[in-house]
Each structure stands twice: as C-alpha cells, then as structure tokens.
Structure 1
C-alpha cells in the first residue's frame, strides 16, 4: 500500500484523498500510480479515472474493473488516458458521459500516425447521417439527433487528438493542423445538416472559406472559426433563389456549430471577416467579392485574406475564390501607407487590451502570439509579391520560408520559432482544461502548477513556467520590434511587385530607368553580388532592389553600386554584415547615401570595411582623450615603432570615417567637424610623439629622455578648424631635463621630431597626415625644434608682424604640459599686445593680404568661387577677424582665442563690429567651410575651388542638404553669401 506522504512526493497534492482513491483501483493500483503521478494534475487524473470507472459500471456491472485490468496491462493506453484526465476537465466530463470512448485511446497508432483529413471528414459526415461521398443528408436521422451526434463525434476525435498531443508530444504545429482538419470536417458535416433543413438547398453552390487560424492550418483547441461564404447559382437556378438558399445554408451552418444542446456546443462560426463585416450580406457571389476587394477593401482585409483556404461545400468554387483574391493579396503591400497601416493596427490591438489582462495575455499582449504573427505576415506581404515561396498560410511554415530566403536571420528565426511554439503550446494547454476560449494565463498556483507539469516542468512547475513565459515574451517583443518596424520594409513595399526581388533579366532596363550611367557595368556588379544559391546571394537579392533605388537617389549611382560590390566582397561572408543591412534599414540607407555621394568616405570604407557597423552607432566625434586612450592601449602590444604607428593610424582612419559619415548622414555641424578632426590630430600626434620618443631612446640606449617636447598647433589646426584635406601645421619646442646636456637634449629632440614625421609619412591604407613645420621661425631654413628661450630671442629680434599674426592661432596640443604652458606664456604678450598694433603694422597686414590675394590665387582660378582666396572666402573672413584681434585683444579678453567664430562673436559683443556684419561674416565662413569639406568628401581629395563638373557640383549640393536638382540654387546661395561677406570685409578690413 502506498502512503499519503509517498503520493505527495510523487506529485499528488492531497495525499490522503489520493491514497483512498488509489486503494479503489485494486490490483491496477501499482501499475497505474506512476502514470497518474506523471499527469499534469495527478489528483484530477485519479478523480477522473474513478469517474470513468463508475460510468462504465453504471452501464454494465464489472465494466470498470475490466477497463482497469486492461489499463494495467497496456502501458501506452494508460499513459494516454491519464494524460488526458490530468490536463482536461472538459474531456474528463466527456468520458464520464461517453465512457466507451476510452477505447479510442487503445489505438497503438496514436503515437505515430496522424489521422488523414479525408478520414476525419468521412467520420463526421457519417455521424450526422450524410453520405461521405456527396455530403448530402441521408433521410432517417432526426435533426436534433444529428446535431448531438455532431458534437459527440467531434469530442471523440478531439479526445484522440489531445491524447496524441499530451502523451506523444506531436508538436504544436501538427496538433494545430489536426484541429484545423477536424474543424473543416465539422463545417462540412454542419453544412450537410443544414441542407436537410433547407428545402431548396440545391439552388446554390456554396463554398465555405476558412480564414484566420483555421485557414492557416493552425487552429486552437477552442477558438472562433472565422469563415467567408461565397456562392453561385446552380445550373438553371435564378440568382435570387440562389442567394436565399445560400444565405439560409450559411445561417443554419453557423447555428448548428454554435448552439448549446444536451451534448454541449462546439465553437462559434464567425463570418465578420466578410466584405462590410456584420453589416454586409452573409454570402456573396464571386464577382461581388471581387468588386468589393478591388474598390473598397481596407489594408487589414488583405492581411486577413493571406490565410484564406476553401474547407467545405463546393471546393471548386472555393478554389476559384482563392485564385481570384491571390493577386489582390500579393499586391496589397503596394497600397499607399500599407506598412504603416499594418503597424498601426497592431498598436491598436495592444492599446485595447484590458489593463487587468495585459501582463498575462498569451495571444494579444506585448510579446504574445500576435506579435509573431503580425511580424511574419508583414514580411510575407511585402516580400511575397516577388517570392512565391513565402505564400504560406501557416505562421511557422512562413517563418521557415523567410529564414530560408534570407529575409530573417537564422538565429532570430530560431528564437522566434521556439518562442511561438512555446506560446502556442501554452495557449493550447490553457484552453484544453475546460475547452473554453481563453488566451489569458491564469494567476492561481494550482492552475500554474498544472500548466507547468503539462509542459514537462516537474521541478517547481509554477516558478519555471513563469520564468519561461517571461523569457519568451521578452524575446518575442525584441524580435517583433526588430522585424515588424524594420525600416527596409517600407522601402521594399514602395517598389512595384515584380521589382521587389531582383531579377537579372529585367535589371538592365530597370537600371537605365533609374538613371545609372552605365547599366551594363552595373548589371555585371549585380551578377557578381547575386550569383549562386548561397544564403548570402539570397539576402543580396532581397536588399538590392531597395539599395538600387537609394543609390539612384544619390549623385553617383554607379559609384555607389561599385563601392557596395567592393565592400560586399570584403565582408560578404562576415556573419553580421548583410544581416545588419537587412535588419537595420537605416544602416543600409546610410550606406547607400555614403557610397553614392562620397569618394572620400567610400575609400575609407574600403580600407576599413568594419566601419559599416559605425553607421548604426553614434556618429559624434570622439574626444581626444578617448581616441588617445585607445591608441595607447593598442601600441602597448606592438613590438616595433612601425607596428605601433600602424595601430595608431588605424584608429585615426576609423575616426575619420566616423566624422565623415556624421557629416554626410547626420549633418554634423561644420564647427564640430573641425573640432573633431583637430582633436583626432591631437591624439595622433601625441601617440606618435610617445612612440618616437621611445624608439629614439631605445635606439640610443638611454634610460630616460634627456629632453621634454611639446607640439604647437598652428593655422587652421591651431584654430580647431581643420578640414578633411588640411595639413597639420605645427611647431616643435623642447627643453633639456635637469642634469641633461643641452647638446644631447637638442639632438634627442631633433631625432624625435624626425621620427614623428617619418612614422606619419609611412605608406599605409589611410589618408596621410602631413606634418608641416613651415610656420616655424625662419621657415624651411630654421631649426626644426627650438627651446622656449630660442623662440623668445627670435621673436624679440627678428620677427615680423605676420609672424605675430600667425601666433594668433598657436595652440599647444601635445607633449609636456609644463612646457606647453611656458610657451603660451611667452607668446601671449606678442600676439595680444596690451596697446594693440601700430598703424604701420595695420598697413603692413593689409599690404600682405593684398599680396596674398594677387599672387597666391592659382592660375585659371575663378576668384568668385575660390573657397580660400576668393571674394568673401575663408581668407577674407579670417584676416578680418585676426586684424581685429591684433588691434584689440589686449583690452578685450574674449578676442584671445585661436578660433575664428568665438573671436568674431567677442568682437561683436565689444562693438568692434556690428552684430549684423558679424553674422554676415560668420555665415560666409560656415558656408565656405562646409563647401570646402563637401568638395573633399565628394572628390576624395582636397580642392579650393567650387567644382565645375556638373556631377561633382550636384554631389556637393546634396552633401550641403540641397534637394536633387538644386545645384544652381546652391551656387547662387554661395555667391550671394560671399558677396555680402566681401562687402563687410571691404568696410571693416580695408577702411
């Protein structure tokens, strides 16, 4: 005898009652106890088994004991019966009413064989007294008896199906397909009963089209069965008679399934997905359906039709209906706002969930089944227009096709499949208990324990169930957001259906129409990218139709496609590359814009293809400290100076790409671009200085450096105003450390500077950093590096006003902090004289400016459009600001800055220049600086002339934010802005 404590440890909750019940099983107790204990609810399984025994005994004395004896000898049947009794109170009730049905579970094929759909149909028709061959009622069976028989037969087959599901774990998709087949057979049988009620039923051909889950072969245990009715007049029948007969048949069919009788009910049949919903006629002809869908149907109706499937009645008519709607369904994504409509509809569903259910909704809630279904259906409708392999009504089958076709990543697809299967199984178990239509996870401990055990969770089932439920919901929500709101979807949906997936046959004409200058060359690139049957080629065929459109929107589509090919050849087999472009449409669109606009950025991407990842990240320039920290971390692992500088230049190359991409796609302000480039140069020079110092010290066998060095930024670099093509104008200063000989310190400093310049000029796969020291005292003839004292002596004896002007932009940026501070103390009184510069010096500055304007303008250059030396160009604005600084910085602290715009603002605040004139100069400086940067980005190399080439000029206009075809407007704006600035310069600088 088993004790109550042992039974509790085995899984029973009420050990005392369980022990009494087990004792009633007699000789069958020992072999059946383990089977009962393995059930989802052992106590309910035992109670249900005893109810079935009692029911059998009430029919025939001893029948219950005979059943127990058979169960004791048949482990498979015992397992199936106990599984059903422990999971479904409703099926237990059915067995108590029809105890003979327990024998259905003795079928040894239940574990391995799914009942054929036609066999289920024949059984249901036979139960209601209809001819299985014709589905026509056979006289003799009363209507009420047929309706009850329909319910009993439905439960009998459902009992077998539930046993397969619970005991043999057939899989949620197989179980749902079986339930769908049973529903289809039930509809056929109900239609047969309806024919017996409608005298003139043969006046109409009526087809029943399953929608929703039944149409998709994924019905729940208990769910409304969504249908649409379509009819045609039978031969010789009038249209009015056919409509009346079809309407009566459809109405009776719905009542037969949903009415409550002594044998219960089956499920409601819902026809509200029909045209015009509940306000529309219950059934329509094929032509009437077509007219409605072509003129009036809304987006959601086409989404619903995705699962339409003929299941009962005139199947030939049903197939004609599906053939009629198919082209409409698979072109629905081309409707204006289609993707947004579907997304908005999903949000409305979530918003309308009662607050009390929101966190426990398996179907409709955030992270629930609807999130998976909507994401899959949206992908199907957008991509299925051109790829027939995606046109499946079943969610899991469609998801598998999306994975196979490269539309969904394998890892994402597997997680989504796993989560959907778990949620559907959980939903089935919740509904199976009472055979009630519910999608809400119960909150009570007993129900959660039963559900958890039904899913195979026997250790802390309620806790483990809650953990898995929350994990899968979280994954579904994450993947839903990723797939359902994928930016690429909206772009693909806008393409005409045949062009949504690349076909090389039609590609050449398409390329020419999009504006590619060399369609044949572009076609060769496409052939390389899409040839073969690999997953990479599949994803490329999905991406390229949209990318081709985006390239076509850029100034140079051919260059964009060619650049994409080169980068894809570098990264095509890298797991993240195409997945990122497919799943993060903003990255793909940014990449297309960059490749079709900027040779500079394209060259960087080809050298640094991993930089594609950056397009999905922040494009704000790094600080000098962050860049330097990364450079130092990399150089610590380098064995040679050459290897170390390669690592430093690699970081610089990547950050140049970040700044360029931020300029191109995020509209980074031109001042921030200059600051970002300057800070990056600071970090590069500091890292190079450290590497060079170590290399020279090591090569000379020194234990420590005999000199301290500092780097002084000059020119636009000193002003934090570097452009993409700027050299790094610098001066070098050193001082001997205590105890070191002056000659040794000088020799060391000179060698370090030479090594810095050598390392930064080594051939490498990044834009060169030209370190230009020509602004040092005595220019090219002077020593490369001097002490602070040497600089002081030179400036005291020999310097000219232009050198003091150059010092306005001097900014110590690298090297020893103390030495940098001392150099600043030396030059501040020189560049910011307390009493300003003399009138003669002002005349000299103007004379030098006139000479620069006349002599340095390149031959053939257009003075109106030369960016640096043209009228109202950079030199005009900067010389004007610098003259004001030299005249007034001694008394106006705000002018003591190397930066042009802050100095200009300070001059306006001190009323040295009117606010209006200051704004005019600032606007010109910003515009010309932007144009200069844009020219370098477009051409891939620096230039100081507004491009004359029409394509380059158009590209510059696009970089500046002008719409396509606005090159002339850009030029006019440039000329107007610089003309106004030049007028201010004439007034402020020359008068």
Structure 2
C-alpha cells in the first residue's frame, strides 16, 4: 500500500487518475517493485525510467495494469520470465518505450501479450527491421490457423509499437499493415491449397481492392478482394480455395470482403478472366470502375492478377466519359452520408461530412477524369494520387496540403480508435475518459488554460470543416464535367492531330490557333500543365461561338496579361464555373472582351453568382463618390478623381454585361438571371452613380464652393436614362438646372453653374482607357441653340411662354438623377404641369407629334439602313413603340395617374388596364419593344460597338442568336412562352434564319398595332 501523500507524487507520472490512490501492481508482494513506499519515490533509477515511460503512454494506469498482468504471466510461465521482462525494461530504452506505449494504447494487444508472455520480445528490435513488404511480414508456424493467428498478432504488435513511438510515419504504417494483409492472404491461400485433395492447385488470383489495394490499410478493416480464375476448368477448385481463404482469414485476423466483385454478393465468388472482361465491358457501373483504381495483385497467381488488371485498365480510363459518370460518383457519396445513422453523423470520421470518404471521393473523381490522359495520376493510394494531382496542377498546392493534413489527422484518429480494442470503429467516443485517452494517444497534452481534449476537438473541427469545403470545391467543380465530356484521345494530341481537330471544331485559321495553344501550353511549368487541362474544354466552348479564332486569341491575351499572377489559373481551375463562363464571354462578346483586357482583375467577378447581380444605385453612388473623394482631399486632383470614377463604371459595366451574356447559358447563369428590364435598370443605376460622382468632381474642379457658396445644382435625367431603359451604347440625356443662393442674381450664378456642367461633360467624355460616357443636353429648351444650364425660374418662364409639344413629350421621361434633391423635386413639379397639361394636348398638337414622327422616320434613318431590321428607327422598332406610348401619356396622363411613369412598358400596361389599348395590341407593342431592346443590347455585346441594324446573315447575327439562346431568353413565340434557338450542329443554318423571320414577324405585328393606336 502507498502511504498518504504518495498519491500526489505518483500523479506526476499520470498514475492514479483512473485507478484510485493506489495503482494496482505498483507496490506490494505481487507488484512490480517500482515504488519505494517508505521514501515515496521510485525504487531505483531503472524504475524511475519505467515510470516516466508509463507517464508518456496514452493511459498510464492501463499500461501499468497490463504490465503487471504481463509480469504475472511471465512468473507463471516460469524460467524467470518476470525477471527477464523487468530487467529488459530497465536496461533497454527502446524496448521500454515501445512496449509500454503498446500497453497504454491497446488493451487487445495487452491481452495477447498476457496470453503469450514471450511475445514481448517481438518489440525488442527497432522499426528499421520492420519491412513493409509481404515477404517476411509473418514469421512462425504458418501451416495452421493457430500458428498463423499468433504470427499475425506478433507482426501487428511490432507495427503498432513503431507507430505509437514515431518509428513509422502514417504512410509507412499503412503500407506495413497492407503488407501484413498480403502476407496473411498468401499464407491463408497456401493453407487452403494444401487442403485440396488434388496436388495441382487451380490458377486463382487474389486481387487486393479498397484500402488494402491502395496500400493504406488500417488496423481493423475488412480486406476487400476479387477472385479471378484462369479458365472454366479452374472454377470449382478455385471457388473452394477462395471460400476456405475467407474462412481462415476471418479466424486469424479480419473478414475478407468479396462484395466488390461483379454483381456483388449475388454474383459468383470466382469468375474467369474472360467473364470479368465481358462484365466490365457491358454491365459495370461507374462505382465499379472507381473501385478498380486501387486494384493490385495480392496473393495466389500474381501473374494472372496482373493480366486481369491490364485487361481492365483501358475501361477504367474511359469510364469518366460516360454522360452520367461524374454525377454517379457524386450521388454515391451522397448515399453514403444518407446511410449513416443521424445520431452518429457528427462523430463519424470516415463516412460523415468532412471525413475520409470526402477526401477519397474527390481524389478518385479527379483521377477518373484527368487520369485518362495523364498516367502520372494512376496511383492506387490516396496520398500518392493527391500528390500527383498537385504536381500536375489539377489541385492547388494549398488545397492539396490541406487535404493531406486532413487525411493524416483523420487516419491517425481512426488508427488509435481501432488499436485500443482491435475493434472496427470510425466513431469518436462521447465518454470523457475515452476522449481523454484518444487525445493523449494522439500526442495531445494539457496546457495552461486548455485541456488535451479541447485541443484535439479544435483540430478535429478545423480539419473536418476544411475537408468538407475542399470536397465540395473539387467534387462539384463544373470544369470536371466539361473535361469528362472531352474524349480521352482529344486531351493529348500531336501537332498534326491538333490541327485537324481545330479544323473540325470550326477554327478558320487552325495554324494560328495552334500557335496560340503552343504558346499557352509549351514547357514543363505548372502554368503550362494547368493550361493543358483547361484548353481542351475551352476549345470546345470557343467552337460553339461564331468566331472560335477570336475567342482563343482573346483568351491568350488575357492569359498573357494575368499569367504571372498567382490567382489567375487557380481561379479558372478551382472556382466554380469561371473557366466555362470566361470561354463563353470571350467567344461571343467583344464588348466584354474589351472591358476585360482593360481590367483583367475583373475576372474574379465570374467566380461568384452574387457578384453577377447588379448593385443598387445607392450602394453604387456611395462607392463611386468615395472613390472620387480619395483624390479630392488635401490637394485636390480632379483628373485622378474622375479616372477612379470611370474605372468603377468600367467594372460595373463588366458586371452587367457578364450577367446579361451568361443569363441565357443554362447552368452558367447567375442565381438571378437578368432580363432586358433589369439590364436597363442596372445601366441606368450605373449612369446615375457616375453622374453623381462626376458632379462632385466637377464642382471641385470648377471651384464652385469658393466662387458661389450656397449654389444649388441638379441633374435631371431624360430620354432612356430618365426611363431606366439605358442600353449599352446609350448616352446620358440630361438637363442641368441651378438655383442661385439667396440674394444673388441669376446672371452672377449662371457662369459658375455653366462651368460645373461643362466640366462634368468634359471629364466624362475625355479620352481614357475606360469607356467614355457621353452627356447629351440637346433636349433642353431651344436645343443646341439654348443655354446649357438654366435656373429654375428660367425654365418656368420658358415653358410658360415658349414650350412646344415635343418638349412636353421629352419631359415625360424627366426624373431627378443627382445633385440637390429639393431642387430636383421642384423641377419635376414644374415638369408635371408641362407634360400632363389639364385637358391634354389639342388636336393641332397631336397632329404636330405625328408630323414630327413622320419626319424622324424619313430623315434620321441612315440611307443604307434596312428599315425592316433597324431596332431603333425601323418599323416596329423602339422609337415606334415609345412615340406611341408617349402620345397616350400626353393625351391621358392628366386624368390617369398610372400613366405618369417614365418607363415605357409600365405606361403601356397602365394604358391597357385603362382600356386605351386592347390586349392584343398591347401585347404586340410590348413584344416588339422587348425584342428590339434585347437585340440592340446583344448587337453591342457581340460587336463591341453600338449597332442598331440587325444583319440578315453572318457571324454577328449568329452571335446575337447565341446570346439570346437558352431557357431564360424569353423571346416571343406563337405560344407566348420562352423559346430556344438551336446551337451550331442542331440547326446550323435554320437557327439564325428562323430568328430573322421571328424578328420580322414580331416587328410587323408591332407596326400594325402602332398604326391602330398612334394614328387612330
């Protein structure tokens, strides 16, 4: 017995924590003689070293109890067994460290040692003598089950000892366990063959699968195998041997699982080589090819096993080309999670979210897809395959390192859990004592303010979260599906083959395209490797565009500008659909390409659907003004301020154009695809913000605050800006209004106000890398002959005396854009009296509107224009609809509040609701306006410059059709629902032709409605 006070001293060695104040076996007549009860200290220096080793084990009390049991078993065995054990522990530091580590970590191996007291000598030698090959992994009598079982446990004991004391890293431990499994399979095979009544053994191969096949076996796991016979004549004896092998291994070590064979447990246990080949060619599902990634010869006829693997390898590396392959792998992973009991899911380190299966499935899917052309990826082991994926550029370095760390952590946890009782489990325990043991077995120790269990939990949560994130990132990468659709024989081509392939894809200059490809993929750099992965997919996307060569050239230009930035190729490879989105944009839109080459950093917006959502005007205005303000503080620099504003505008134009061009691309569409109305709103909001920030800069540049404090100034939006119907080529139609400070004459204030307006127009229109914004004030009173800026009183006087009907019509779209809000409200109150006059316009004014419209039709349409195909001034075009709706607003706006809106289709809907237009005519007008607006935007996106004329044929027409193609196009159809335009290859000639017919038909119906409504 220990005396009072001894417990505290023993606690320094971790003893007494779970065994009470007097640990069993420490002292007493039957004890180990390690503690001097009188002196309350270790009995001798050797005993002190043993106590220190106990303290460093996962469970010191367990280690002490098992050491005491082992010593007692040695005494019972006689011949000084107890004394030799204790002497060896005192003298051999390596033995002491290894044996006590096993005793504190595994009660099951402790039981084995107690039952076989001489087997502790198995850990006398160091880990260098532990070979990870099947030959020599077992020693002893291997001719019968009892001897084989003891030999297996001795080998397992040595592996565990090396593992627990750092003599072997995780990969080496897994390889050693796999080698031990191979040796056990071979020994069991020999026993089974030896029991056959005939001396000639059958030609039977045992193929290792799963973790054993990947050389990453854990301590307790089913060993997955497939049995292969040479011929039909071998089937009967081979089946006998296979069944007996399964029985022997179950008695010796672990269960042999042959469920990965064709047809699973319903199929025959053994098949011939030919039968296997026929099954995999015709019936095998994706998961069966996924399982074959880890196949390797293990026992029996190794040459036959190698032949079996060689026959099936070509099938493995084409499996990913099946249309359903990628989704099959994803669905299998989801089913595994669904089959975990909900109460166990948070503790599952293998099958649960963030577990080992997440890593394995991500790696295996990447292998199936990319390994078709890259043989370096054909590694059976998860870590080896992951390293190859990183080396080949398929997985980012940081992501790969995070997955390696997560895998090692989770497998180490799994090993410790299974080693304790040699019981198959993947659940982290809930019991506090068990958790403490697990943490300590993994090397965690208590620190001031933090327990070992807390440290373990923190690492577990962090690793699981990162694994889950990367699993989703890699397994659900859209690029995977796109790469899988490219046949393997097209992923790696010679120059001649590549040129022929480019010709078939529709490249007009395949030699030039080949030079671009060689420039991007040449060399052995990581950048070139990633480009080699991306380009087969991108080429297929460019081929869908009217001008594939231009798309490839633009991609090369962007790549050369961004190729040295560390994030560019990583973004294309890893971040969602960026690569496919970029290919569509570069192939179809010169407008987007021009914006991107001016601002390559904007490419990041394509990574996130939320970034493709146009921003509200308030947020835009705040951001634009803040960008300008940074250059207006201290020593103002108006030039730098306006450049910052215009750069912000360029970024927003890119955002809107990308969302517009991608919104008809199906799975590439943003979360909330935008239509032509949302595009108009977004472009108008960007223009509002640009004008607001430019007004701030112009006010500073003109020195207005010093020259005329208290001057009020406002910008009124007109035309398409006022109607929230801006298109990409639209200028900003505005009026400028000011109000002098109290007591200051208008003439004195007009110069300062004029300077502000002139500076605003100049700043936004001056040459720069960013797209200019034309500021058009021609809708002001007296047009270009009138003053650029007027006071509110001057506007009031002019409209009261001189206003003409076209000016009333122009004011229908007037709204306050920026500047003094009160002044803007006062101006709009004045405008209401002009645009919605009591009683409406007289007959002469209506005739005047119709006369002006006829003159516009005759004079403003370009001579070379095709009136039927002109989206703005043609028959049934935008101007036709807008003049018609505005006439209704002028005539009836004074009595129908619903018509008092600056938006064309809102006013049209109000007119229909009021009975001013019948349902059919309203629908024809709305269809005509919507289609013309969409086509006008699409023409600008495709051409890169303003264009109102829809061509009847050619590449620009094909580009418009492709941009308007898709489930979100909402083009008019006979049924009134959305319609889809054929892509190249579906109806290569009829698609654009059908679209032209639709446009003409829609415009004719619209024009007929206009004749009835406008000229009634």
Please confirm whether the aligned pair reaches a TM-score higher than 0.5, indicating the same fold: yes
Aligned to 1:518: 509
1:309 aligns with 2:296: yes
Q: 1:114, CA displacement in angstroms?
A: 4.0
Aligned to 2:308: 321
- The partner residue of 1:52 within 70, 83, 94 is 70
1:10 aligns with 2:7: no
Aligned to 1:205: 203
**Distance in 1 (alpha carbons) for counterparts of 2:707 and 2:811:** 35
**Distance in 2 (alpha carbons) for counterparts of 1:836 and 1:114:** 101
Aligned to 1:978: 1003
**Contact (CA 8 Å) 1:372, 1:480: kept in 2 or not?**
yes
Aligned to 1:115: 131
**Distance in 1 (alpha carbons) for counterparts of 2:112 and 2:493:** 56
**Contact (CA 8 Å) 1:4, 1:18: kept in 2 or not?**
no
Aligned to 2:477: 486
1:151 aligns with 2:169: no
- The partner residue of 1:66 within 84, 87, 92 is 84
**Distance in 1 (alpha carbons) for counterparts of 2:898 and 2:1007:** 24
Aligned to 2:977: none
Relative distance call for 1:973 and 1:243 in structure 2 (3 A) is same
Q: 1:930, CA displacement in angstroms?
A: 0.7
- The partner residue of 2:432 within 445, 454, 472 is 445
**Distance in 1 (alpha carbons) for counterparts of 2:770 and 2:167:** 60
Aligned to 2:573: 582
**Contact (CA 8 Å) 1:367, 1:475: kept in 2 or not?**
yes
Aligned to 1:729: 733
**Contact (CA 8 Å) 1:3, 1:19: kept in 2 or not?**
no
- The partner residue of 1:283 within 255, 266, 270 is 270
Q: 1:536, CA displacement in angstroms?
A: 1.5
After superposition, where does 1:82-101 map in structure 2 within 5 Å? 82-101=100-119
After superposition, where does 1:403-802 map in structure 2 within 5 Å? 403-459=390-446, 460-500=451-491, 504=495, 506-617=497-608, 618=610, 619-638=612-631, 639-666=636-663, 667-697=673-703, 702=706, 705=709, 707-802=711-806
- The partner residue of 1:919 within 899, 918, 923 is 923
Q: 1:19, CA displacement in angstroms?
A: 7.2
Relative distance call for 1:502 and 1:575 in structure 2 (3 A) is farther
**Distance in 2 (alpha carbons) for counterparts of 1:830 and 1:880:** 18
1:127 aligns with 2:141: yes
Give ranges in structure 2 of 5+ residues lacking alignment.
34-43, 664-672, 966-980
**Distance in 2 (alpha carbons) for counterparts of 1:22 and 1:931:** 94
**Distance in 2 (alpha carbons) for counterparts of 1:741 and 1:170:** 92
**Distance in 1 (alpha carbons) for counterparts of 2:187 and 2:706:** 99
Give ranges in structure 1 of 5+ residues lacking alignment.
130-145, 234-238, 260-264
The secondary structure found in structure 2 opposite 1:711 is strand
Q: 1:278, CA displacement in angstroms?
A: 2.1
Aligned to 1:335: 322
Range moving further from structure 2, 249-258 or 923-932: 249-258
Aligned to 1:848: 852
CA offsets 1:939-981 (integer angstroms, 9 cap, x no match):
0011111124511001111112233231111111111111011
Q: 1:201, CA displacement in angstroms?
A: 4.8
Moved over 6 A (4+): none
CA offsets 1:328-351 (integer angstroms, 9 cap, x no match):
111111123011111111111111
**Distance in 1 (alpha carbons) for counterparts of 2:477 and 2:452:** 37
**Distance in 2 (alpha carbons) for counterparts of 1:279 and 1:271:** 11
The secondary structure found in structure 2 opposite 1:6 is helix
The secondary structure found in structure 2 opposite 1:274 is coil
CA offsets 1:753-783 (integer angstroms, 9 cap, x no match):
1111111122222221011111212222221
**Contact (CA 8 Å) 2:708, 2:749: kept in 1 or not?**
no
1:963 aligns with 2:982: yes
Q: 1:504, CA displacement in angstroms?
A: 5.0
Aligned to 1:104: 122
The secondary structure found in structure 2 opposite 1:642 is helix
Relative distance call for 1:37 and 1:489 in structure 2 (3 A) is same
Aligned to 1:41: 59
Aligned to 1:137: none
**Contact (CA 8 Å) 2:98, 2:164: kept in 1 or not?**
yes
Q: 1:812, CA displacement in angstroms?
A: 2.1
The secondary structure found in structure 2 opposite 1:149 is helix
The secondary structure found in structure 1 opposite 2:716 is strand
**Distance in 2 (alpha carbons) for counterparts of 1:468 and 1:567:** 40
Q: 1:10, CA displacement in angstroms?
A: 3.4
Q: 1:243, CA displacement in angstroms?
A: 2.2
**Contact (CA 8 Å) 1:597, 1:959: kept in 2 or not?**
yes
Relative distance call for 1:113 and 1:697 in structure 2 (3 A) is farther
CA offsets 1:440-475 (integer angstroms, 9 cap, x no match):
222212221111111111212333323322222222
Q: 1:741, CA displacement in angstroms?
A: 4.7
The secondary structure found in structure 2 opposite 1:813 is strand
**Distance in 2 (alpha carbons) for counterparts of 1:673 and 1:184:** 65
**Contact (CA 8 Å) 2:25, 2:65: kept in 1 or not?**
no
**Contact (CA 8 Å) 2:210, 2:291: kept in 1 or not?**
yes
Range moving further from structure 2, 30-39 or 168-177: 168-177
CA offsets 1:467-525 (integer angstroms, 9 cap, x no match):
32222222211111111111111111121112245765532222111111221111111
Relative distance call for 1:504 and 1:16 in structure 2 (3 A) is farther
Q: RMSD value over aligned CA atoms?
A: 1.8
1:78 aligns with 2:96: yes
CA offsets 1:364-421 (integer angstroms, 9 cap, x no match):
1122111111111111011101000000110011011111111111111111111111
Q: 1:786, CA displacement in angstroms?
A: 0.9
Aligned to 1:262: none
**Contact (CA 8 Å) 1:550, 1:593: kept in 2 or not?**
yes
Relative distance call for 1:706 and 1:118 in structure 2 (3 A) is closer
Range moving further from structure 2, 930-939 or 441-450: 441-450
The secondary structure found in structure 2 opposite 1:693 is helix
Aligned to 1:248: 240
**Distance in 2 (alpha carbons) for counterparts of 1:336 and 1:735:** 68
1:25 aligns with 2:32: yes
**Distance in 2 (alpha carbons) for counterparts of 1:650 and 1:682:** 15
1:374 aligns with 2:361: yes
TM-score by structure 2 length? 0.92
Q: 1:6, CA displacement in angstroms?
A: 2.8
The secondary structure found in structure 2 opposite 1:731 is strand
**Contact (CA 8 Å) 1:504, 1:527: kept in 2 or not?**
no
**Contact (CA 8 Å) 1:831, 1:886: kept in 2 or not?**
yes
**Distance in 1 (alpha carbons) for counterparts of 2:341 and 2:414:** 18
**Distance in 1 (alpha carbons) for counterparts of 2:103 and 2:201:** 47
The secondary structure found in structure 2 opposite 1:848 is helix
**Distance in 2 (alpha carbons) for counterparts of 1:712 and 1:928:** 26
The secondary structure found in structure 2 opposite 1:10 is coil
Relative distance call for 1:648 and 1:878 in structure 2 (3 A) is same
Q: 1:29, CA displacement in angstroms?
A: 2.5
**Distance in 1 (alpha carbons) for counterparts of 2:817 and 2:223:** 75
**Distance in 2 (alpha carbons) for counterparts of 1:466 and 1:201:** 57
1:803 aligns with 2:807: yes
